[in-house]
Amino acid sequence: MNKKYAVKLTKDEHTTILITLTEEKTPKTVRNRCNILLLTDIQTGKPLTQDEIATKYQISNVCIHKTIKNYHQHGLQYALRRRTHKTPPRKPIVNSEDEARIITLACSKPTTGYARWTLRLLTKNIIELQIMPSIGRETVRKTLKKHDINLT
């Protein structure tokens, strides 16, 4: 297999990686990338192959290749960075307007015949009042908990 990218870490980069590895709050993905770069460094001796690294750390070959490629093309900080999404991967179930209406309903008096609101009763009334076409009890519970509203 021909190597397209070679990792040649400077002393500063090597110490940065070691410091990153020893930090307690370093995420696992960043640790994996640090280990990939350390194990593929040409200056430390004979570097491990992608397959050897993949079996040692249970990382895919694609992740290893992309880490090496990112280091070679953009530098160390880019290769180690945490990926963030501009938009969340999943849209929220309850938007802010619906959330306000649910909270208003939960803070109001319960329907006739009931002493207090329950999650089932709230869920039923949210659908009946057409605040939302459908909603689960867990979503209602999380919405109320987010704003520290207790039904008791």
Residue 44 belongs to a domain: yes
Low-confidence ranges of the chain (pLDDT < 70): 1-3
Distance CA 37, CA 17 (A): 8
Identity at 17, one-letter amino acid code: I
* Phi and psi angles of residue 151, each rounded to the nearest 5 degrees, phi first: -85, -10
Q: Would 124 be classed as within a structural domain?
A: yes
Question: Is 85 inside a domain boundary?
Answer: no
Half-sphere exposure of 4 (CA within 13 A, CB side): 10
Q: What is the pLDDT of residue 42?
A: 86
pLDDT at 1: 42
**Residue 152 belongs to some domain of the structure:** no
**SS3 state at 45:** coil
- pTM higher than the cut 0.75: no
pLDDT of residue 48: 86
110 and 134 inside one domain: yes
Are 104 and 63 within one domain? Answer: no
Q: Measured between alpha carbons, how far is 9 from 64 in angstroms, rounded to an integer? A: 16
Which residue among 27, 56, 80 closes a domain?
80
55 lies in the same domain as 21: yes
Q: Based on the structure, what is the number of domains in the chain?
A: 2
CA distances from 79 to 46, 57, 61 (A): 22, 18, 15
Same domain, 44 and 71: yes
Does 1 fall in a domain? no
> Residue 7 forms beta bridges with which residues?
41
Distance from C-alpha of 151 to C-alpha of 81, rounded to nearest angstrom: 43
Whose tokens are 């397209």? That residue is: 4
End of a domain among 80, 111, 137? 80
Of 31, 56, 80, the last residue of a domain is: 80
Mean pLDDT of the chain: 90
Q: Which domain holds residue 111?
A: 96-146
The candidate with the shortest Cα–Cα distance to 4, out of 74, 79, 68, is 68
Query: Does 110 share its domain with 62?
Result: no
